[in-house]
Amino acid sequence: MMIAVDFPGRIGSNPAVGPPYPSRPRLVIVHQGALGDLMLALPVLDGLAQLIPDVRLDFWGRPHLLALLAAKPYLGRVRSCEGSELAPFLLDDAWQQALVPAFFREADGLVIFGQERSRGMAKRLQQRLTCQVLWIRSFPDPAQRISVGESLVYQVRAAGWPIDPGLPMLNPLDEDIKVVTDWFQIEGWGRDRTPVMLHPGSGGRHKIWPLQRWWHLIQWLMGDCGVPVLLSLGPADEVVWPLAASAERAGAHLISGVSLPRLAALISRCRLFVGNDSGVTHLAAAVGVPTIAIFGPTSPDVWAPHGKNVQVIQSRWKDSEAFAFNPETTTLALRGRVQASVERAHHR
């Protein structure tokens, strides 16, 4: 399942044993996953930082996602994973002559998050590097029925690294918070009239709560509750644009094309976030805002976001219902646990 040996300075069952740590140990983290995957890995990253004094974590991954970690004191350099430097290490017949990226050769240790294909890459890099390599399977075997976050932590601890994991936690940068605060003041949104953020999209279309239900939620929030609504739209959310257009005409504010750090700051200043099983919902949970995560066909036992203020609601719908949308339908009352949960959060 994994490759696991101690780093220099010994990260193991007894981290006090062995030679002292270098002046500032440097670990390289290979993480090429999506937003939700990174949020679920946060407890491991934070745990490593707590375990190893003054560690620096350099990342081989997606810079626009890793910008979310800017406030983390352990964040070092970031290299984009978009190149082909690691491609030979995925092949049986090319890795022995391939040049190992200098980014890896300088490391005190290498941690690779990935699925089964990356396991072979980790083995090959281990043979070419003097530092030690740990491979962590990104997603658990479906038969395990364990959450992704628990699976990641379990693997690291099973490798002999006694990390003390917590919940995923992100603090937006002060500069982004200021921009959001200034905008809220311009709009007249204060403590008694704080917006609700909705994210009706998802990277998987089968995970999108029916658009008509989102529409009734928007109408109820803006009409009956008198709450400002911010509608977050990502680059893969084209399917929800008919809903977004109607919501904008009704007075909702569309949030699209902003950086992830700015989006995190926006979410953190809202009274509530409601979203599907998506990376943005994991982001909301990590910044600590009260979060309602609506799950349909995917299992919340495996994929649910973790956080102090997270409520998961399992819903059901027919495939034919998902994208049927009629903005003229305004008489259907919103029923069920989503409304009840939103109403409780609204009146806190």
Per-residue tens of pLDDT for the chain, all 348 residues: 233 333 333 333 333 333 344 467 999 999 999 999 999 999 999 999 999 989 999 999 999 999 999 999 999 999 999 989 999 999 988 899 999 999 999 899 999 999 998 999 999 999 999 998 999 999 998 777 899 999 999 999 999 889 988 899 999 999 999 999 999 999 999 888 999 999 999 999 999 999 999 999 999 999 988 999 999 998 888 999 999 999 999 999 999 999 999 999 999 999 999 999 999 999 999 999 999 999 999 999 999 999 989 999 999 999 888 899 998 875 454 556 676 677 666 556
Largest CA distance in the chain: 71
DSSP state of 69: G
| Residue 313 and residue 195 share a domain | yes
Do the domain assignments include residue 151? yes
Total number of domains constituting the chain: 2
What is the pLDDT, as a whole number, of residue 254?
A: 97
Based on the number of CB atoms within 10 Å of its own CB, is 343 exposed (0-12), middle (13-18) or buried (19 or more)? middle
Do the domain assignments include residue 284? yes
Helix ranges (DSSP H) in the chain: 35-51, 63-66, 102-105, 116-128, 148-158, 174-187, 211-222, 241-250, 260-268, 279-287, 300-303, 337-346
| Residue 241 and residue 148 share a domain | no
| Residue 138 and residue 225 share a domain | no
Residues 338 and 313: their CA atoms lie apart, in Å, by 7
What distance, in Å, lies between the first and last C-alpha atoms of the chain? 45
Prediction pTM value: 0.90
What is the pLDDT, as a whole number, of residue 330?
A: 59
| Residue 104 and residue 37 share a domain | yes
Do the domain assignments include residue 14? no
| Residue 206 and residue 70 share a domain | no
Residues 164 and 51: their CA atoms lie apart, in Å, by 8
Residues 267 and 89: their CA atoms lie apart, in Å, by 39
Return the beta strands (E) in 47-139 as ranges: 56-61, 75-80, 109-114, 132-137
| Residue 211 and residue 142 share a domain | no
What is the pLDDT, as a whole number, of residue 219?
A: 93
| Residue 189 and residue 125 share a domain | no
What CATH number should be reported for the domain holding residue 62? 3.40.50.2000
Residues 327 and 348: their CA atoms lie apart, in Å, by 30
Nearest to 288 by CA among 303, 301, 270, 300: 270
| Residue 274 and residue 137 share a domain | no
Residue 30 belongs to what H/E stretch? strand 26-31
Question: Is the separation of the CB atoms in 200 and 208 below 8 Å?
Answer: yes
The domain boundary, picked from 102, 124, 158, lies at 158
| Residue 66 and residue 150 share a domain | yes
| Residue 321 and residue 210 share a domain | yes
Do the domain assignments include residue 203? yes
DSSP state of 14: -
What is the pLDDT, as a whole number, of residue 17?
A: 31
Do the domain assignments include residue 281? yes
Residues 320 and 243: their CA atoms lie apart, in Å, by 16
Using only C-alpha atoms, what is the Rg of the chain?
Answer: 22
Residues 28 and 322: their CA atoms lie apart, in Å, by 42
Question: Is the separation of the CB atoms in 74 and 45 below 8 Å?
Answer: yes
Range of the domain at 63: 26-158
Please report, for residues 59, 290, 339, the alpha-carbon distance to residue 191 in angstroms, rounded to integers and kept in the order given: 38, 15, 22
**How long, in residues, is the chain?**
348
What is the pLDDT, as a whole number, of residue 54?
A: 92
| Residue 208 and residue 333 share a domain | yes
Question: Is the separation of the CB atoms in 335 and 321 below 8 Å?
Answer: no
Residues 259 and 212: their CA atoms lie apart, in Å, by 28
| Residue 144 and residue 72 share a domain | yes
